[in-house]
Structure 1
Amino acid sequence: MTETTRPTTAIDFRYLSEQDMIAAGVTDMATCVDAMQETFVLLHRGDYRMAGPNADSHGAMITFPDESEFETMPANTADRRFMAMPAYLGGSFGTSGMKWYGSNIANREKGLPRSILMFMLNDTDTGAPLALMSANLLSAYRTGAVPGVGARLLAQPDSQVVGIVGPGVMAKTSLAAFVATCPKIDTVKIKGRGRKSLDTFTSWVADQFPQITVVEVDTLEEAVRDSDIVTFCTSGEAGDPSTYPTLTRDWIKPGAFLSMPAGCNIDETLQGPDVRKVVDNTRLYEAWAEEAGYPSHNVIPIIGCKFLDMIHDGAMDRDELIDLGAVAAGDVVGRRSDDEIVLMSVGGMPVEDVAWGTVVYRNAVERGIGTSLNLWESPVLA
C-alpha cells in the first residue's frame, strides 16, 4: 500500500525514549518555566480539565493493604502505589494526556528510581495517541519549573542565596528553575541526610552551575536563615504533622520566598495574614480535602493542605489564600511589600505534564526524533 492510498483510518504514534526526550528538549528549564506560566494562566481562566467531581483531582491511585489474604499481593511498603493522572489543557496546547506510574521506595536498592513514569499524549478530538513518552524527566522538570514560576512572580528579583532541605531530584530541578528566573543566585545552602546524596548534588551543581557555591549545613534553621529563597524537597511518611519539617518565623529572612513541593509544616508564627499564602491551584487542595477528609494535612503532607485545614478551623480566611494562576494572569497582586514573607505550596497537577509533554512532542516531530509505531491501518472493530 503506497502512502497516497493509505486509509485515512491509519493511526501512527511516536515513541520517545528517555534519550529521545532529552534530544527533544525535556531538560530545557527556561522554556519549561515559560510553559508552566502559560499553564497557570489557563488554569486561572478555566481552560482545562482534570479528573474527579470538581475536575481538579490530582489523579486516581492504587495502594495496597498492610495485610492481605492473597499471597501474591504486594505489601503496603513506603511509596508503593500505582497512579493515573489524566488531564486536558486548552490554549496553545489543546491536547489531552495521562501520566501513569508505579512507585516503590525499595526500587533504590535495585538501582532504579523510586517511581517509573510513562506519559501518553492524545489528540483531544479523536482520542488517538500522539506519543508515548518516557516521563521521569518530563515529570521532574515540570515539577521544578513550577517553583520557578513562583520565583519569577513572587521572589525578590535580586535573590542570591537559596536554602534547600533534601538534595534529591526535586532539589536539582527546583534550583535549575530558580537560576533560570533569578540569575543573581550565587550560593546554595544544602541540608541532607546521607553523604552519597550530598556529594551527588554538589557534583551536579558544579557541573551545571559552576558560578554557584554550595555550602553544606546541619540543620533546617541553617538552611532557612538568611536565605532569599527556601525549598523543602524531602520525602517522608505522612500521618503526624508534628513530625514534618517545620518552619518558624524567627528563621526566615524578611522578603523571603518559600516554595514547598514536599511535606512541610508551619508553626503559629507563620499562620497570620501578614504571611502571603499561595497555592498552585486552590481547587486541587479542595479535591484532596474531599478525598482525604479532615484534617487533610495528616494524609497529604503538602503545606497547601494545612492551609485548607486552617480555613476549616477558622484560623485563616478563605480570601487570604491566592492562586499562582491569578498572579500569573495579573489579576491578583502577589508580593505586597519588599519585606513580605511569601509561602507557596506546590502540589503538582497532570495539566503540567500535558503542557510540557506537548511542547516536547512538537519539538520531536519538528526534529524527526523518536520511533514511529503503528496502532492500525484500519480498525478491526470500527
Structure 2
Amino acid sequence: MNNRVDFIYLNEQEMIQAGVRDMEKCIDSMEDMFVLLHRGDYRMGGENANEHGCRVSFPKTTTVEGMPTHKPDFRFMAMPAYLGGRFKMFGIKSYGSNPDNAQLGLPRSILMMQLLDATTGAPLAYMSANILSAMRTGATSGVGARHLAVKNPKTVAIIGPGTMGKYTLDAFISAQPSIDTIRIKGRSQKGINSFIEYCKENHPEIKKLIVCDDLPSVCEDADIIFYGTTNAAKFEDNPTVKKEWLKKGALVIAASALLVEPEFLSDNDIKLVSDNYAMYDGWGEGQPLPTQKNVSTLLGMGFYDAVTEGCITRESINEIGEILVGDKVGRESEDQIILYAVGGMPVEDVAWGYDVYQNALEKGIGTKLNVWETPVL
C-alpha cells in the first residue's frame, strides 16, 4: 500500500502561469458553483452549512501588551467549504486583513488557499490566493452582468476603484464586450488615478473615463453600477443608492458596503437577487437589528433586515442559482431595475482554486512537497 502524501505549492507567479487570471473561465466556474449551491451540493461552516467563515475578533481597547485592537477592515479569518459536482473538493481560504499594510508596501489582505481531498483530508495544493480571491469576487459580479444586465450595456459605474473594482471591471467587460464608458467615484485621487491607468493599460476598448464627485452623478446613465468600497469609519458614511439616481434597466451590484432604504427594497419595480440568502440569514439570526450596522454592511444583510422587519417577504428575493437553472426568471424587461447582492463565499474559492490546480497539474506547474513517505501516527 502506498501511504505517501504529496501536495503542490503554487506561488503567485505560478498561479498566473496556471491561468488564475482567465476571467471568462472564472465566470464559467462561478456559474457551475452557483448551480451546485442551488442544488444543495455544497457545505460551508456552521450548523446551517452557510457561514461565510470563522473570524477572529479583536477588542476595541485592551490592556494586554501587543494585542491588536479593532478597526475597519482589520480581520483574520478562515473560510472552509466543500463543493460537490465536478469539483468534489474541500478547501480552506485563510487571510489577514490590515488597512495599515499599505504603509509597508503590502496589500491590505494577504490570502492563502489550501485544497484537500474531500474523502481522506490529505492536502493536495497550497496556493497564493490574493489574485484567486480577487478573480472569484469579480467573477461572481460578472455572472450578474452576464445574466441580469440589459442587452448590450454601454456604461458602467465603479464606486470604489480599488483592487475589487479593477477585477470586477475585467469581469464586466468579459461578460459584456459592448461596454465602452466607465464612470468612476473614489475616495482618493491616488486610487482614482491608479484605476484610470489600469483601464488604459488593460482595456483600450474603453472610449470614455468619467470621474464623478458624488453618488447621484456616478450612477447617472449607467447600465451597470458596482459598489466595491471598503467600510467607512462611521456606519452612516457608507454609500447608498436611490431609485431616482438610476436609469431604467439599471443593474446595481454590491460586493461590499451598501445601505439601502427599506422603501427602495419593497418597491414593486425593483427586482432583488442574492448570491445566497441563507448565508445572510445565518449571520443575522439572534443578532440585534439592524444587522447591517451590527454584523455586516453588505447589501445581503440589508435584504435580511428588510425581511426580518416585515418590509419585504423572503419570497421576493431571487437566488442567482435559481435563475441560472431556469427555476426563476432573471431580467423581466429592459426597463426593470435589479439589485444583486454579493457577499463572498468560500465555495467560490474552492471552485476557482480547483480549476487553477487542475491546470497546474496538466502543465506541470508548481513545487511538489512531501508530507510523509509513511505516516508515523
Shared fold (TM-score, shorter chain, > 0.5): yes
The partner residue of 1:229 within 221, 224, 230 is 224
1:145 counterpart = 2:139: yes
1:370 counterpart = 2:366: yes
Secondary structure at 1:288 match in 2: helix
Q: 1:340 to 1:108 in 2, by over 3 A?
A: same
1:177 counterpart = 2:180: no
CA distance, structure 1, for counterparts of residue 331 and residue 200 of structure 2: 32
Secondary structure at 1:304 match in 2: helix
Q: Deviations over 1:56-83 (max 9, x none)?
A: 0001000111222321211223322210
CA distance, structure 2, for counterparts of residue 273 and residue 293 of structure 1: 27
CA distance, structure 1, for counterparts of residue 273 and residue 220 of structure 2: 21
Q: Which runs of 5+ in 2 are unaligned?
A: none
Q: Hey, what does 2:60 align to over in structure 1?
A: 66
CA distance, structure 2, for counterparts of residue 293 and residue 284 of structure 1: 17
Shift of 1:292: 4.1
TM-score, length basis structure 2: 0.97
Shift of 1:290: 2.0
CA distance, structure 1, for counterparts of residue 142 and residue 160 of structure 2: 17
Letter in 1 for 2:344: G
RMSD between superposed Cα atoms in Å: 1.3
The partner residue of 1:48 within 26, 31, 42 is 42
1:339 counterpart = 2:335: yes
Shift of 1:325: 0.7
Contact kept? 1:33, 1:177, Cα under 8 Å: yes
Contact kept? 2:265, 2:272, Cα under 8 Å: no
Q: 1:344 to 1:127 in 2, by over 3 A?
A: same
CA distance, structure 2, for counterparts of residue 128 and residue 269 of structure 1: 48
Q: Deviations over 1:138-192 (max 9, x none)?
A: 1000000001001111101310100111110111111111111111000001111
1:255 counterpart = 2:253: no
The partner residue of 1:29 within 16, 19, 23 is 23
Q: Deviations over 1:8-31 (max 9, x none)?
A: 100110000000100000010000
Contact kept? 2:87, 2:354, Cα under 8 Å: yes
Shift of 1:354: 0.1
Q: Deviations over 1:296-342 (max 9, x none)?
A: 11120011111111111111011101111101111100112111100
Task: Point out the more displaced range, 252-261 or 66-75.
Answer: 66-75
Q: Hey, what does 2:100 align to over in structure 1?
A: 106
CA distance, structure 2, for counterparts of residue 276 and residue 89 of structure 1: 28
Task: Point out the more displaced range, 134-143 or 297-306.
Answer: 297-306
CA distance, structure 2, for counterparts of residue 286 and residue 111 of structure 1: 37
Q: Hey, what does 2:309 align to over in structure 1?
A: 313
The partner residue of 2:215 within 220, 235, 238 is 220
Q: Deviations over 1:194-215 (max 9, x none)?
A: 2211111111111111010211
Q: List aligned pairs for 1:314-329, cutoff 5 A.
A: 314-329=310-325
The partner residue of 2:181 within 167, 179, 187 is 187
1:278 counterpart = 2:273: yes
CA distance, structure 2, for counterparts of residue 53 and residue 274 of structure 1: 36
Contact kept? 2:72, 2:233, Cα under 8 Å: no
1:296 counterpart = 2:299: no
Q: Which runs of 5+ in 1 are unaligned?
A: 1-6
Shift of 1:291: 6.4
Q: Deviations over 1:253-300 (max 9, x none)?
A: 101111100100123345313200011001111111126443211120
CA distance, structure 2, for counterparts of residue 160 and residue 363 of structure 1: 34
Contact kept? 1:101, 1:116, Cα under 8 Å: yes
CA distance, structure 1, for counterparts of residue 307 and residue 161 of structure 2: 32
1:13 counterpart = 2:12: no
Task: Point out the more displaced range, 284-293 or 105-114.
Answer: 284-293
Letter in 2 for 1:233: G
Secondary structure at 2:365 match in 1: coil
Q: Hey, what does 1:200 align to over in structure 2?
A: 194
Task: Point out the more displaced range, 153-162 or 260-269.
Answer: 260-269
Letter in 1 for 2:52: H
